[in-house]
Amino acid sequence: MEFDDMSIREQREQLYNEVWKEPIVTVAKRYGISDTGFRKRCKRFCIPLPPTGYWAKLNAGKSVVKKPKLPPLKSNAYLNQGYGIETTEDSKILKYIDTEVLSVEELKGIDSMDLLTPESKKRFLNWCSKIRVPKRIEKYDELITTHQSEIAYRKARDAEHKFKDITFSMFSNSKIKYQNNKAVIPINVSEKETGRAYRIMDTFIKSIRELEGRILVELKEEEDIAFIDLNVYTVSFIISEGKIKWRSFLSDSQQENITKSLRPSYEKVFNGELTIEFKEVLNFSERNKVPEVLLKFEDTSNTKLEEQLGEILIALCRLANKVKIYNIIKDHENELKHKEQRQLYEIEEENKRQLMIIEEERRKKENLVEGMENQMENWYKSQRLHKYADELEVLVATTADANTKEFLIAYIKLVRKKAESCNPIVDILNEVIAIGIKRLVE
């Protein structure tokens, strides 16, 4: 699709007006692409489309939905995340093939990484292989610095307000004012591994952003949750440190204060091994379902987590591409389904129209049959009037008085005019033509 130097706003308005003026198939053909591809572009532009059956109803003179207003589009950054116009910057790492030329069968058989162009795939894999976690970072990403300050505040707040009523604390003269938690990236590690976890997450976050992905954080029931939005695919993630059971040894004084039945023999302690876990994001209808763990990477005796970031990003890309392929296939299948529904609807409407024509012809035939006696009476009435006029003309021929003859001639014209008005032949022919010979003899 070519728009030359038109702005995004102008492009949207042009497409919006065109799809509500003509069927999508017609508009898409004008731009030289398939109607399926055109629908996808309209979807990315957030352009509302006429519903299925809109043009059939409109052509049949039936009422249709009103043309909705063109909704506002989000920021250009939102567009560049894959919801709007495809960007073609040379610096873009992930570039995708044109899937519109592929059939559903071809899409089902394609490898997820082959969704990238050959050049992009090579560039992406090479880029992943060079990712390194620095031993020292001068300037952390904002999400890391926010985590540092928020966790420090939570510790200080909880230490001061630990045994106090929260409502009381909010209006007290405490040095640390009580505030609710702010959402941060979930980094559940010991103090000893915090610096390491920060460096890993900082490198990971910056890599995701370089791939034009987004990192989002939110609080759910006071639990920190983070999401990655990569190529219109979202997963949640968390970095945590493993724990092992450790035998707990209590001092004599502690043993005196704790009954033997309640005293634990073991406790869980951090073991220094970090893990990044990625889970599916459920929608509201799946709220009672346990999210599935999609990917999990952890320290091993041979490979630390820092050395696996490239592998993690490749796995995430594969996952996002699989979902993208699934969605494309689903869009294709839905489009085929919509086409079939449109065809069935049009066939049904045509059948209804034919039935209406047949019913109208049947009704006209019945009316013709029911009116035959009147038509017969009018025919004989017309013939009698013509015969009456003929006899009057004979009388005129034998009339000597000029005035009488003139009056009779004028009267005869009225009689013949009346005879013609009674003649049913013209009306009969019109009704027969309207019904049709085929229907008439059935």
* Residues 240 and 189: beta-carbon distance below 8 Å: yes
Summarised one tens digit per residue, pLDDT across range 179-215 is: 889 999 999 999 999 999 999 999 999 999 999 999 9
Average pLDDT of the chain? Answer: 84
Going by C-alpha positions, the residue among 73, 98, 70 that lies closest to residue 8 is 73
The CA-based angle 339-345-348, given to 5 degrees, is: 140
Summarised one tens digit per residue, pLDDT across range 85-133 is: 334 445 688 999 888 888 888 889 999 999 999 999 999 999 999 999 9
pLDDT for the residue numbered 288: 85
Q: In this model, does residue 33 exceed pLDDT 80?
A: no
pTM of the model: 0.59
Widest distance between CA atoms in the chain: 160
- Is 268 strand, coil or helix? strand
Task: Give one DSSP letter per residue of 362-375, joined into a string.
Answer: HHHHHHHHHTHHHH
Q: How confident is the model at residue 262 (pLDDT cuts 50, 70, 90)?
A: low
Please state, in angstroms and rounded to a whole number, the distance separating the CA atoms of residues 197 and 177. Answer: 29
Please state, in angstroms and rounded to a whole number, the distance separating the CA atoms of residues 31 and 41. Answer: 12
- Is 221 strand, coil or helix? coil
Q: In this model, does residue 178 exceed pLDDT 60?
A: yes
User: Phi then psi for 219, rounded to 5 degrees?
Assistant: -105, 135
Q: Write down the residue that tokens 């893990």 correspond to.
A: 275
**DSSP strand pairing (233-247 vs 266-280):** antiparallel
pLDDT for the residue numbered 325: 92
Q: In this model, does residue 427 exceed pLDDT 80?
A: yes
